[in-house]
Amino acid sequence: MQKRVLISFLLFLSLFIVASCDDNDNATPEAEPPSLSVVADPETIQPGESITLSWSSTDADSCDIQPGVGSVAADGSIALSPAETTTYTITATGPGGSASASITVTVIHPAPSASISADQTSIIVGETVLLSWSSAHADSAVIDNGIGDVSVNGTTTVSPAATTSYTISVAGLGGTATDSVTVNVNDPSPVSISAAPTTIEQGGSSTLSWTSANGQSAYIDNGIGVVPVNGLIAVSPDHTTTYTISVIGVAGSASAQAVVTVMGNPKPQPKGSFGEQYEDLIPPDATLESYDPKRFSLITGLVQNLANAPIADAAITIHDHPEYGSALTDADGRFSIPVEGGATITVAYQKAGLITAHRKVYVPWNDIAIAETIQMIAEDPAATTVTFDGNPNTVSRPPEHRGE
């Protein structure tokens, strides 16, 4: 009985082993995972240039390239032109799974360049210069000394008051660059003049003293005429007088002024007269012996700037009548100056840095004449100086016209 059981077990074991061997013989082999390779030629470019991206794979049914390409064949090549440094990743997919490979293409941006120039590198105070500039591979540009942001290529006009270097700075993806140009500003003939004393009584005298540099000739107005480029002279004006010296040199001309104030002492107005109430308005430098009581009158007015704001300390005189002296506008821009009426009188308005103005006003006897309100404007620093000394050969001309 035990022998029969053993034989049955051995027979069953044999059948199991045979069945297992049959199953192993019929199993399907596992698929190999894909493999791939990718190359870029070249791997470094500048913006706008192209590369060839090539790849090959095994055990793959399809491939995908990112960014921006998408599905491609299992083997192939493609031309690409990336704008920036880019890493391309290719993924191959097959029965055995997937595999990826990457390659980086470097885009090198060229360094910017910039240049700036001036149509003149040496000028006289008040003249203008045309700046021109250009650049390459730049996205922005700025010029110093008050010019600021500019286009990457362009021009602008400047009028520096002193020697100035203008530097342009440009920036782009490849970095920054700068360039500079210097404009030399020459004071053609620096000159100064002074009076000592500055205030005299009628009949007194003052000494004018002046110095200049780089001057070849000099002229002082109000009857003095041609003088040395450095010197002094005594003057005895009858009325308050402004002396202007003009000096001419090789590079141009320059001028300066000195005022000699002549104090007067007109007789007082008669009691009860129209002028008696306004005697306190008579300027200290009025040099009339006396005002005609029947003609004593007053001119009053207002001086403003272009914004209608008052201009204080503007000097008010009467054209061709220095004997009436001078008055100054007050903080509100108002003035009053006594004159003798019965005629049309021209009022002169002066202040340093502003253009001198003249206005006519009819002045009745023993009355107050109101001059029209005027607006004084700033002088233009770019001007041609003309010296009126009676000699046509000493008229100063702009440098570009000299020698004509």
Query: Tell me: the pLDDT tens digits for 208-246?
Result: 999 988 788 999 999 999 999 999 999 999 999 999 999
> Which residues have a Cβ under 8 Å from the Cβ of 330 and sit 6 or more positions away?
312
Distances (CA, A) of 265 to 82, 236, 287: 92, 17, 6
Task: Name the nearest CA neighbour of 51 among 4, 94, 87.
Answer: 87
Residue 298 reports pLDDT greater than 80: yes
Q: Looking at residue 390, what is its pLDDT?
A: 59
Which domains can be identified in the chain, with CATH numbers? 37-107 (2.60.40.10), 113-186 (2.60.40.10), 191-262 (2.60.40.10), 266-375 (2.60.130.10)
| Whole-model pTM over 0.85 | no
DSSP conformational letter for 28: P
Residue 275 banded pLDDT, cuts 50, 70, 90: very high
Residue 373 reports pLDDT greater than 90: yes
Half-sphere exposure of 156 (CA within 13 A, CB side): 20
CA 206 to CA 186: how far, in whole Å? 33
Q: Looking at residue 16, what is its pLDDT?
A: 54
Query: Tell me: the pLDDT tens digits for 46-67?
Result: 888 899 999 888 888 889 999 9
Task: Name the nearest CA neighbour of 49 among 57, 58, 40.
Answer: 40
Residue 403 banded pLDDT, cuts 50, 70, 90: very low
CA 398 to CA 120: how far, in whole Å? 14
CA 68 to CA 81: how far, in whole Å? 11
> Which residues have a Cβ under 8 Å from the Cβ of 70 and sit 6 or more positions away?
64
Q: Looking at residue 186, what is its pLDDT?
A: 77
Query: How far from each other are the two terminal CA atoms of the chain, in whole angstroms?
Result: 149
Query: Tell me: the pLDDT tens digits for 71-84?
Result: 998 888 999 999 88
Q: Looking at residue 98, what is its pLDDT?
A: 87
Query: Tell me: the pLDDT tens digits for 173-194?
Result: 889 999 999 999 876 667 899 9
> Which residues have a Cβ under 8 Å from the Cβ of 204 and sit 6 or more positions away?
236, 262
Summary count for the chain: helices (H), strands (E): 1, 32
Which string of DSSP letters, residue by residue, matches 217-254? EEEETTTTEEE-SSEEEEE--SS-EEEEEEEEETTEEE
CA 24 to CA 26: how far, in whole Å? 5
**Cα-to-chain-centroid distance, residue 13:** 105
Residue 261 reports pLDDT greater than 90: yes
CA 309 to CA 339: how far, in whole Å? 27
Q: Which helix (H) or strand (E) holds 291?
A: none
CB atoms within 10 A of CB 44: 13
Residue 395 reports pLDDT greater than 80: no
Cis peptide before 322 (omega within 30 of 0): no
Residue 385 reports pLDDT greater than 70: no
**SS3 label, residue 365:** coil
Question: For tokens 């192993």, what's the residue?
Answer: 24
Question: For tokens 């000097």, what's the residue?
Answer: 315
Q: Looking at residue 122, what is its pLDDT?
A: 87
- In whole angstroms, how large is the CA radius of gyration of the chain? 48
CA 123 to CA 185: how far, in whole Å? 5
